[in-house]
Amino acid sequence: MNATIGQPLTRVDGKLKVTGTATYAAEFHRPKLAYGALIQSTIANGRVTKIDVSTAKSAAGVIGILTRENAPRFKPYPDNLTKNGAPGESRVPLQDDNVYWVGQHLGIVVAQTLEQATHAASLVRIQYEEKPPLVSLADANPVQPEKFIGREKLQAKRGDVNAALANAMHKIDVVYSTPIENHNPIETISTTAEWEASDRLLIHESTRGIKQLQKVVANSFGLPAENVHIVCKFIGGAFGSKGFQWSHTLLAAAAAQLVQRPVKLTFTRSQMFDSAGQRAYTDQRFSLGTDKTGKLVALRHATTTHCSPVSEFTEPCGNMSRMLYSCPNVDVSHRLVRLNLTTPCPMRAPGEAPGVFALECALDELAHKADIDPVEFRLRNYAEFNEFENKPWSNKKLRECYQRGAEKFGWSKGNRKPRAMLATDGSQIGFGMATAIYPAGQQKAGATAILNKDGTVVVRSATHEIGTGTYTAMSQFASDTLGIPIEKIRFELGDSQFPEAPNNGGSWLTSSVAPAVMGACRELKKKVVDLVGIWPNDSTQLANLFARSGQEQIQAEFNSEPNKEEREKFSFFSHGALFVEVHVDLLGQVRVKRAVGVYDVGRMINPRLARSQILGGMLFGFSMALMEATVPDETTGRIVNANLADYHVAVHADTPEFDIDFINEPDPHMPDLGARGIGEIGIVGAPAAVANAVFNATGKRVRDLPITPDKLI
Ligand code: MOS
């Protein structure tokens, strides 16, 4: 049988999706289902003095209302989910009267229909004691956070930046900034909570952290984890949302307990802006210097970002600046200010996306100043090893990415002088490039493989399908390991009763779960060989042999973990280079016309899915460069554009011609796998490539995203 790994297979779940039969969280119909609507604060800072639900209670269809008055005493979230820069909310809902941002959840109304619940929620009258909110980065006192999600240090120094700057030949000192941005997957967040018994809870939620949610909910209600069952078969996009702990799950579960019926709570589009995370503001100051040959001698990257008054998640903008380029004197720091805005969380390459945007633009400025071609400038500062961790790379083919990308794009046909290229319609043409980088994480995971009588195999793991192709990729790993056709494999995910898998994030799903899948399949093979003597690479023969064994099923399990020695010895990162052509018209409208990206992400598992991942990521990057910004009102803290008419995202009409290519060299230090993960690297560098191209087209250096027409004319 031919191997499926490396083949551009179409999605095994494609038919379910295009026929509308893939079941998303909001689509599980439960008997006696009731509908929830959130009660949310209308002020950004202060406390609730009174909640009057009397009118709401007597409105048509209302079954129950849960507020601070009748809420259960949730146990607090465990420390490992709330301290040390952890994302998600740090406080369980409805335990005090404090209000920290507009839209904070103050309760939930349950009614027979969604419309009745929504109407009744609007009838709840709340009185507040109000304080002026802090909404702007400039107004608050910063603190110095230590850790990003408990693991990465946020302050790092080597050498002497000031001394090096004093002697540098070419220098820049610039500030870049990026706005708040919101995840806007097509599927909004949804939870359906149902008490199957007084101590057993079933939750259908769009979550990319099934096991974590199970533990969080069990802990809050004081239940054993196995009494909470979380199901999520498909996720309609997440982009960093739909993970971690947020109020809505506990509210839906408590409401279901109150009314003794299943309760479904689905976010409106506007609730996606205030109820489950967003990307924080970033303000990034760079001081960079080179010697006369263009070699970096000093790099200071000081980030100020924000969190809510009750969390400490930091957007880690400087973390790639520590090691993307070779530089002896580096000072990377992060400061955090607490604003009366909803709690931020990871979004599409947290830190890397805004941080590498700023770094790659600042580098472009420096290259321009030193009069060196931007690609050449990066080659002169190539990091042969990770100078921050002082370790060799597991594998790094970035040089090849630059070379192949530049060639495909026709980089040498550009003109480094701004405003030098004109299109036939009078638009200015600009070429821009940037480097992409993303860490290749790996986590522990488990899987079960079951051989059925008919020769088919079911493989299970409590992992997730956020649209990236998990069902397909994992079926490929199982098929190749077992040597049986992919049609005979069924990969199942999205159920907390399956073996433990990590939260789906950090671009580590494949590299974490695939080893477990392969391990379980190998174990299964062994068991079958023990039982019937051989493993025939043919499912009909397999079924025949198996029939003679008299067993119903054969099951094997495997728990995988990252190879500690390799992980300690090497530094694992994916790299890439991207090149874009933009056209800027007389009205200052920027169009990305062409995008070429070449990536070194290790071995290709499925080139079709890989291309789709990178394409989506790049488009996010163009969207970030040109459109996306969440705008809170400076006096009230209310988000003024919490909808998709006013918050712009790139759509099909904004899609350029893409040329996406991969080095496709297996990583020798990812045993068995060779793949380093591909989820988030596509966005990294994309906004910088656009901004640099806009400079090349117009001579204008826009340092605050998004690059809207008003900043160019
Ligand atoms: Mo990513 S937003 O770290 O899943």
* Closest C-alpha to 556, from 524, 522, 518: 524
Task: Give the pLDDT confidence score for residue 552 in this predicted structure.
Answer: 85
Span from the CA of 334 to the centroid of ligand 1 (angstroms)? 19
Picking from 708, 711, 704, the residue whose alpha carbon sits closest to that of residue 179 is 704
Note if 680 is an active site residue.
yes
Q: How far is the first Cα of the chain from the last one, in angstroms, to the nearest whole number?
A: 60
Q: How far is CA 100 from CA 131, 168, 183, 252, in A?
A: 10, 46, 21, 21
Q: Which of 38-42, 147-151, 598-602 has the lowest mean pLDDT?
A: 147-151
Which has the higher per-residue pLDDT, 196 or 84? 196
Amino acid at 434: A
Q: Which residues of 650-659 are buried (b: 16+ CB within 10 A; e: fewer)?
A: beeebebeee
User: Where does residue 294 rank: exposed (0-12), middle (13-18), buried (19+ CB within 10 A)?
Assistant: buried
Residue 578 has pLDDT above 80, yes or no: yes
CB 590 within 8 A of CB 627: no
Which distant-in-sequence residues (6+ apart) come within 8 Å of 102 by Cβ? 40, 41, 42, 43, 44, 274, 340, 636, 637, 638, 639
Which residues have any ligand 1 atom within 6 Å of their CB?
240, 346-348, 350, 505-506, 680
**pLDDT at position 482 over 90:** yes
Q: What is the DSSP letter of 208?
A: S
Which atom of ligand 1 has the smallest separation from the CA of 506? 3
Token duo for residue 302: 């000081």
303-336 pLDDT, tens per residue? 999 999 999 899 999 999 999 999 999 999 999 9
Ligand 1 centroid to 373 CA: how many Å?
32
> From atom 4 of ligand 1, which residue's Cα is the shortest distance away?
505
| CA 346 to ligand 1: nearest atom | 2
The 3-state secondary structure of 522-568 reads HHHHHHHHHHHCCCCCCHHHHHHHHHHHCCCEEEEEEEECCCHHHHH
CB 456 within 8 A of CB 465: no
Counting ligand 1 atoms within 8 A of each CB, the residue from 148, 314, 438, 680 with the most, and so the one to mutate, is 680
**Residue among 685, 713, 658, 624 nearest 364 (CA):** 685
Note the pLDDT of residue 139. 77
Select which of 187, 360, 581, 680 is catalytic: 680
Distance 52 CA to ligand 1 centre (A): 40
User: How far, in Å, is the centroid of ligand 1 from the Cα of 196?
Assistant: 33
Q: How far is the CA of 679 from the centre of ligand 1 (A)?
A: 8
How far apart, in whole angstroms, are the C-alpha atoms of residue 327 and residue 159? 9
pLDDT tens-digit series, residues 584-597: 999 999 999 999 99
Least confident of 475-479, 548-552, 558-562: 548-552
- SS3 category, 254: helix
Instruction: Give residue 547's pLDDT.
Output: 80
Q: Which one of 348, 464, 683 would you pick to mutate in the ligand 1 pocket, going by the greatest count of ligand atoms within 8 A of its CB?
A: 348
Q: Could you read off the pLDDT of 594-607 as tens digits, one per residue?
A: 999 999 999 999 99
